[in-house]
Amino acid sequence: MSTFRERLHHLQSLKKSTLCAGIDPDLEKIPACLKDSDNPIFTFCKDIIEKTAPYVIAYKFNFAFFEIYGAQGWETLAALKRLVPDDCLTIADAKRGDIGNSARNYAAAIFDKLGFDAVTVNPYMGADASAPFLAYKDKGVFFLCLTSNPGAADIQLLGADSPLYMHVARLIKEWDTARNCGMVVGATKLAQLEELSQLCPDIPFLIPGVGAQGATTEDVLKSLAGKSALIAASRSILYAGNDSDFASAAADAASEMQSIMAQNHP
């Protein structure tokens, strides 16, 4: 069986795409025509996944948007995960992080029970909190390194000469013995993206914040210089249309992003 990283490389070449569609459905934003269906969130995401799959190499499910519905939300999440086609990876954007048996249970819930290909993990608790996730050698473990929100400055940017996120990146590089690490790196500043890319050339990046905070997809692809990455887009795809044509509108938005990626494909 291929590892997450091998599958990522393969799909990137095959589909000439680095697009990761974020699945974070908001009941208040989904088209009115769906609101009478039994499970509007499920129907909405199902249609979006079916239509966008040709352009996308990964779906990133944001757990917060499902946990808000309790046990039913967890069931919706599991059902949606199951219908993602084989030529797309699945990422549990759960930002978990705990020690010992807690981490083992979080990892088992996401990898064994739900069957996700990758997870996002918060590194604050260090190596022994990361190990239970990394024990899954064929999966992908994306550690938060440098996030794209203003609050990144509070902790991640500390240390003038050698900011904390660079230290975290070096730790992630150490933890990558099974070649199953990834890093979440915001697209806020291209110089930081380049710096991290040079430090960790083999570690795939998961990149949120493209478009919204300045850097364009072209800029980001250029500074990655061909390295393995997933560029995440959520609202620009999910809410591209707000009528009965929402899924086609989402596919058009995804296709447009994929075209840019294909043109900049190394």
Report the nearest approach of its own copies to the CB of residue 94 (Å): 9
Q: CA 189: distance to chain centroid? A: 19
Classify residue 119 as exposed, middle or buried by CB count within 10 Å of its CB (0-12, 13-18, 19+): buried
Looking at beta carbons only, is 166 or 193 nearer to its own copies?
A: 166
Report the nearest approach of its own copies to the CB of residue 168 (Å): 7
Residue 177, C-beta contacts closer than 8 angstroms, at least 6 positions apart: none
Instruction: Return the residues of window 24-53 that contact its own copies according to CB under 8 A.
Output: 24, 26
Binding mask 91-130 for its own copies (x = CB under 8 A): ----xxxxxxxxxxxx-xx---xx-------xxxxxxxxx
Report the nearest approach of its own copies to the CB of residue 259 (Å): 28
Does 153 participate in binding its own copies (rule CB under 8 A)? yes
Looking at beta carbons only, is 236 or 255 nearer to its own copies?
A: 236
CA distance linking residue 187 with residue 148, whole number of Å: 6
Report the nearest approach of its own copies to the CB of residue 77 (Å): 9
E strands of 3-51, at which residues?
A: 19-23
Which of residues 119, 168, 207, 229 is near its own copies by CB under 8 A?
Answer: 168
Pull the structure tokens for residue 35.
């609101």
Give me the residues paired with residue 121 across strands: 96, 143
46 noted as active-site residue: no
Report the nearest approach of its own copies to the CB of residue 12 (Å): 26
Structure-token match 């269906």, residue found = 37
Does 142 participate in binding its own copies (rule CB under 8 A)? no
Classify residue 105 as exposed, middle or buried by CB count within 10 Å of its CB (0-12, 13-18, 19+): middle
Does 212 participate in binding its own copies (rule CB under 8 A)? no
Pairing of strands 229-233, 205-207: parallel
Structure-token match 């291929």, residue found = 2
Binding mask 53-92 for its own copies (x = CB under 8 A): ---------x-xx-xxxxxx-xx--x--------------
Q: How many residues does the chain have?
A: 266
Contact 41, 29 (CB under 8 A): no
Phi-psi region of 235 (alpha: psi -120 to 50; beta: other; left: phi over 0): alpha
Total residues at interface with its own copies (CB under 8 A) = 55
Which of residues 38, 86, 151, 191 is near its own copies by CB under 8 A?
Answer: 151
Q: Which of 15, 51, 60, 95 is catalytic?
A: 95
What residues act catalytically? 95
Q: Which residues bind its own copies (CB under 8 A)?
A: 24, 26, 62, 64-65, 67-72, 74-75, 78, 95-106, 108-109, 113-114, 122-130, 144, 147, 149-156, 158-159, 164, 167-168, 171
